[in-house]
Homo-oligomer: A and B are copies of this chain.
Amino acid sequence: MSETEIIIEPGRQDVVFKKVFDAPRDIVFRALTDPDLVPRYWGPARYETIVDVMEPREGGRWRYVQRGPEGEFAFHGVYHEVTPERIVQTSEFEGAPGVPALEWATLEEHDGKTFYVAVSLAPSVEIRDAVVASGMESGARELYDRLDELIEGLLARP
């Protein structure tokens, strides 16, 4: 399993996530866009994730609910683009409604591996810093490790 590289530069509005999956792109894309698979990796493992809405296509909507010891949290957004090369969506935390983040992921395949780069762009530096302070980094590492495990499992039993 590869390390997740997380880049958080001071004064910027974005956080960048890089990961290399030892699997072809179509498998990674499937894991990212199949509503039945999302609950198996999205968010920290101590939360249950419920996919309330997921329409992975241009103009489609998504909404995930997380249930955990601290209560229930929900996130939602719309998809701007969904292709095996790039997924672009908005993402709003319903606990702090306002302007959403813009999130995009690019997927490139080389020699059977998928090079994944995701960017989360906050509407301000202050909001990005607040999200980082809330523990986003450890949550993201857990998410990407679980996604990696899921993808390994899909490769073994497609």
Contact = CB atoms under 8 A, between A and B. Distances in A.
A96 B104 CA distance: 16
Interface stretch (A19-27, A76-84, A143-151): A76-84
A131 interface: no
Contact of A121 (B12, B81, B102): B102
Contact of A59 (B13, B78, B86, B121): B78
A121 B131 CA distance: 18
A92 interface: yes
Nearest to A62: B59
Instruction: Kindly report how many copies of this chain are found in the complex they form together.
Output: 2
What band does the interface of chain A fall in when counting residues whose beta carbon is under 8 Å from B?
A: 20 to 34
A123 B99 contact: no
Interface in A12-62: 12-14, 55, 58-61
Main secondary structure of the interface of A (DSSP, over half): strand
A119 interface: yes
A76 to B, nearest CB: 9
Given A13-B121, A59-B78, A123-B119, A99 B88 contact: yes
B88 A90 contact: yes
Contacts of A61: 58-59
Interface string A90-114: 1010000001101010000000000
Given A13-B14, A59-B59, A121-B123, 12 more contacts: A58-B78, A59-B60, A78-B80, A80-B90, A80-B100, A81-B100, A90-B90, A90-B102, A99-B102, A99-B104, A100-B102, A119-B123
